[in-house]
């Protein structure tokens, strides 16, 4: 028995028991909880249907660049901690931290703004708490969910 599987989110080869999920009669394994979470949220971004390859199977990327506002400016030590935590996420291409603004370029098929924000918090950075900042984040989360929902391969209408 082959005890290695390809992580369908990031493409890494992993042990078949690593962050494993059984979905529609098949076993999937993931390099991290992040990749597992992305798959569970939208499996048909990564696995297609017969005759309908998924966006990830087609080699697609959905590149995003977002700026996040923090409550306070970061000193050099804090900025480095934020960069380290965010760089550890799969799908992050670039990060720049200057003052109270952090800009991140990422592949939405691998990581979301919600996951990036959690990395900020894990590094000790507080996101902007004003209503404007919260509204912008909520709008970004909503638009990302809509976008990935539209990208998923789905069975034709009327099929059960």
Quickly list DSSP for 83-132: HHHHHTSTTEEEEEEETTEEEEEEETTT--HHHHHHHHHHTTPPBP-SHH
Q: Judge whether 158 lies within some domain.
A: no
The token duo for 16 is: 């078949």
| pLDDT tens, residue by residue, 39-67 | 999 999 999 888 889 999 999 999 999 99
Global pTM? 0.86
* Domain match, 41 and 80 both: no
Please check whether residue 108 is in contact with residue 62, taking contact to mean a CB–CB distance below 8 angstroms.
yes
Domain that holds residue 78: 63-150
Q: Could you tell me if 31 and 89 lie in one domain?
A: no
| One domain for residues 23 and 75 | no
Residues of the chain with pLDDT below 50 are: 159-160
Determine, yes or no, domain membership for 101: yes
Dist CA 148 CA 130 (whole Å): 27
Asked if residue 155 belongs to a domain, the reply is no
Q: What is the CATH number of the domain that holds 99?
A: 3.30.70.100
69 and 139 housed in the same domain: yes
Distances (CA, A) of 136 to 1, 8, 39, 118, 122: 49, 31, 25, 16, 21
- Residue 54 sits at the vertex; the CA angle it makes with 116 and 23, to the nearest 5 degrees, is 80
Q: How many distinct structural domains can be found in the chain? A: 2
pLDDT at 1: 54
The per-residue pLDDT for 2 is: 65
Report if residue 160 sits inside a domain: no
**pLDDT at residue 67, rounded to an integer:** 94
User: In this structure, are 22 and 97 located in the same domain?
Assistant: no
Residues 28 and 78 in one domain: no
């Amino acid at each position: 028995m082959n005890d290695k599987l390809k992580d369908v989110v990031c493409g890494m080869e992993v042990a078949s028991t690593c962050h494993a999920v059984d979905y529609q009669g098949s076993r999937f394994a993931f390099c991290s909880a992040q990749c597992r979470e992305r798959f569970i949220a939208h499996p048909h971004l990564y696995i297609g249907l017969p005759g309908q390859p998924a966006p990830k199977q087609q080699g697609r990327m959905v590149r995003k660049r977002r700026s996040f506002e923090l409550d306070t400016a970061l000193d050099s030590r804090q900025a480095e901690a934020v960069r380290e935590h965010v760089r550890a996420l799969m799908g992050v291409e670039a990060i720049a931290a200057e003052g109270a603004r952090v800009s991140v370029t990422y592949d939405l098929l691998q990581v979301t703004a919600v996951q990036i924000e959690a990395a900020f918090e894990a590094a000790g950075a507080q996101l902007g708490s004003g209503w404007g900042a919260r509204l912008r984040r909520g709008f970004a989360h909503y638009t990302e969910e809509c976008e990935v929902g539209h990208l998923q391969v789905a069975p034709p209408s009327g099929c059960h």
